[in-house]
């Protein structure tokens, strides 16, 4: 470990996909960078995501349609949305803000904000992947969303029309055309939405490791440190950790859902919580799917990866301390069996992770008010992998005093 006397240009707190991507871009520019994590890079939320490069997710989750669908979800034990009774009181203020963010004017602003990030997210991600020499882990051939019930067709066609109006490339496929893409004539479907501007990565953990390694190769110091608090000093910041103090002229906080307590030590109270999600990985499994396949009704996505086939889903408001809900794995396994029965399920691994989410489902990206050397990049909700490249590019611009490629007003920390 480095001696406390070293002063870095910038300390990056948290080496998930967002922190590792940012550290890489910052180190490439020549600044001295410390990339700090209490664990191995990529072991938290970024480990188990679906690998989807979701450039299609331009509509924020808080919306009138989400509010209308919620009661139905909460009544069913197998529904993709769950609020455990033990966490209901704690999450209530977050949910109240979510409801407020669902009003049409906020939804429209949120859509424009997400569009501004997502519009360049694929290019920025692929540039980063190219620089880290991992293009072979990335695919840009879209995904398919299956529609299983005739009653869903109207809603999906509206989604297609709304998405198209915002420039998202997506078309409706009749079952025969969809079966071509999934490589067989099951399950029973009434059609599918074919998104052609999306992509996926074949190893989300491999991506973070590669970004962190590339950051180190570009000169960053990767250190195991658990940051407890951060103090302002006359020269910059002192990061207090169990392993000793670290000094830096600038700080970037990218600690996922745990950013909440770290920014609190600097006087910022953000309503950051988690939407927990689950995956099952059929290790060594193979599927006939040529591209990732999701289900409109079941809210899951199945992604072919290097290690096997991964099925991912669920939104659970249970904080970071409650135990996982093992029923989720059974639901995912039944769903995998239904949608992709050919996948060998003899070696299955299970995982639950913490999406870092703010109630308006927009991330915090930018500087602290009046404090250009204190930077934030957290709260990337369902899109941290997708947005890692564009976030890293924005952070690089901020750190190097260049104009940012997009307006950061919707993402400022003081909006709450
Ligand atoms: C089931 C599921 C599926 C998903 N699918 C997708 C998808 O397909 N596409 C997509 O774009 N996104 C997806 N996401 C979301 C995505 O995974 C997250 O948005 C992303 O991983 C967040 O990255 P992060 O770097 O902000 O946080 P994390 O990956 O959680 O990293 C935070 C890091 O900070 C470290 N840390 C925390 N506290 C401290 C401390 N005090 N000191 C030092 N280090 C600390 C942690 O150890 C960790 O390494 C999914 C999420 C889930 C749960």
Contact of 253 with 13, CB cutoff 8 Å: yes
> Strand pairing partners for 405?
none
Q: Which two tokens stand for residue 326?
A: 């093992």
Same domain? 34 vs 147: no
Write out the two tokens for 194: 């074919």
| Structural domain harbouring 379 | 7-47+205-271+361-415
Residues 251 and 218 both lie in one domain: yes
Residues 248 and 147 in one domain: no
Atom of ligand 1 nearest to the CA of 384: 19
pLDDT at site 101 = 97
**pLDDT for res 242:** 87
* Residues having CB within 6 Å of any atom of ligand 1: 13-19, 36-39, 43-46, 49-52, 54, 226-227, 254-256, 258, 262, 277-279, 312, 353, 355-356, 378, 380-386
> Are both 16 and 164 inside the same structural domain?
no
Give the pLDDT confidence score for residue 5 in this predicted structure.
61
CA of 381 to the centre of ligand 1 (A): 8
Task: Answer yes or no: is 11 within a domain.
Answer: yes
Whether 256 and 365 share a structural domain: yes
Question: For residue 405, what is the domain's CATH number?
Answer: 3.50.50.60
Give the distance, in angstroms, between the CA of residue 8 and the centroid of all CA atoms in the same chain: 28
> Residue 2: its pLDDT value, please?
46
Ligand 1 closest atom vs CA 278 = 1
Using the mean position of ligand 1's atoms as its centre, give its distance from the Cα of residue 47 in Å: 7
Judge if 147 and 177 occupy the same domain: yes
Overall number of domains in the chain:
2
355 CA to centre of ligand 1 in angstroms: 6
Calculate helix-pair angle for 17-28, 204-217, nearest 10 degrees: 30
Nearest residue (CA) to ligand 1, atom 51: 49
Helical pair 104-118 and 384-399, crossing angle rounded to 10 deg: 70
Phi-psi category of 244—alpha, beta or left, where left has phi over 0 and alpha has psi -120 to 50?
A: left
- Ligand 1 centre to CA of 13 (Å) is 13
In a domain, 308, yes or no: no
CA dist 364 and 356 (Å) reads 11
Question: Is there a single domain that holds both residue 244 and residue 373?
Answer: yes
Structure confidence at residue 3 (pLDDT): 47
Q: How many residues does the chain have?
A: 416
Instruction: Tokens for 277, please give them.
Output: 């999600």
257 in a structural domain: yes
Residue 37: φ, ψ to 5°: -150, 145
Is 17 contained in some domain?
Answer: yes
| Each residue's pLDDT expressed in tens, for the chain with a length of 416 residues | 444 467 999 999 999 999 999 999 999 999 999 999 999 999 999 999 999 999 999 999 999 999 998 888 888 888 899 999 999 999 999 999 999 999 999 999 999 999 999 999 999 999 999 999 999 999 999 999 999 999 999 999 999 999 999 999 999 999 999 999 999 999 999 999 999 999 999 999 999 999 999 999 999 999 999 999 999 999 999 999 988 999 999 999 999 999 999 999 999 999 999 999 999 999 999 998 879 999 999 999 999 999 999 999 999 999 999 999 999 999 999 999 999 999 999 999 999 999 999 999 999 999 999 999 999 999 999 999 999 999 999 999 999 999 999 999 999 999 99
User: What is this structure's pTM?
Assistant: 0.97
- Residues 165, 25 share a domain: no
């Amino acid at each position: 470990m480095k001696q406390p006397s070293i002063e870095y240009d910038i300390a990056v707190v948290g080496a998930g996909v967002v922190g590792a991507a940012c550290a890489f871009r910052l180190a490439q520019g020549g600044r001295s960078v410390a990339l700090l994590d209490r664990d191995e890079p990529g072991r938290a939320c970024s480990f188990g995501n679906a690998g989807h490069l979701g450039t299609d997710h331009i509509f924020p989750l808080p919306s009138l349609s989400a509010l209308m669908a919620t009661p139905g979800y909460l009544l069913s034990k197998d529904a993709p949305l769950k609020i455990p009774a033990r966490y209901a009181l704690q999450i209530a203020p977050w949910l109240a803000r979510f409801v407020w963010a669902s009003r049409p004017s906020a939804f429209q602003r949120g859509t424009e904000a997400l569009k501004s990030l997502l519009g360049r997210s694929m290019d920025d991600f692929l540039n980063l992947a190219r620089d880290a020499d991992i293009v072979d882990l990335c695919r840009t051939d879209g995904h398919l969303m299956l529609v299983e019930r005739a009653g869903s067709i109207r809603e999906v066609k509206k989604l297609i029309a709304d998405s198209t109006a915002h420039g998202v490339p997506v078309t409706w496929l009749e079952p025969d055309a969809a079966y071509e893409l999934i490589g067989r004539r099951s399950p029973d479907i009434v059609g599918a939405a074919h998104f052609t501007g999306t992509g996926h990565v074949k190893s989300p953990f491999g991506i973070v490791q590669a970004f962190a390694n590339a950051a180190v190769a570009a000169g960053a110091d990767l250190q195991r440190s658990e940051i407890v608090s951060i103090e302002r000093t006359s020269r910059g910041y002192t990061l207090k950790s169990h392993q000793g103090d670290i000094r830096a002229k600038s700080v970037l906080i990218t600690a996922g859902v745990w950013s909440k307590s770290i920014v609190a030590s600097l006087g910022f109270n953000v309503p950051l919580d988690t939407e927990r999600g689950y995956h099952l990985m059929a290790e060594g499994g193979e599927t006939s799917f040529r591209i990732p396949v999701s289900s409109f009704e079941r809210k899951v996505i199945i992604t072919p990866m290097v290690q096997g086939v991964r099925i991912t889903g669920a939104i659970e408001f249970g904080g970071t301390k409650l135990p996982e809900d093992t029923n989720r794995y059974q639901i995912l396994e039944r769903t995998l069996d239904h949608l992709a029965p050919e996948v060998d399920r003899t070696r299955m691994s299970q995982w639950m992770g913490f999406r870092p989410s703010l109630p308006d489902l927009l991330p915090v990206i930018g500087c602290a008010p009046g404090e250009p050397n204190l930077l934030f990049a957290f709260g990337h909700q369902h899109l941290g992998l997708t947005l890692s490249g564009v976030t890293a590019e924005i952070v690089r611009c901020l750190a190097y005093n260049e104009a940012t490629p997009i307006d950061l007003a919707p993402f400022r920390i003081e909006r709450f």
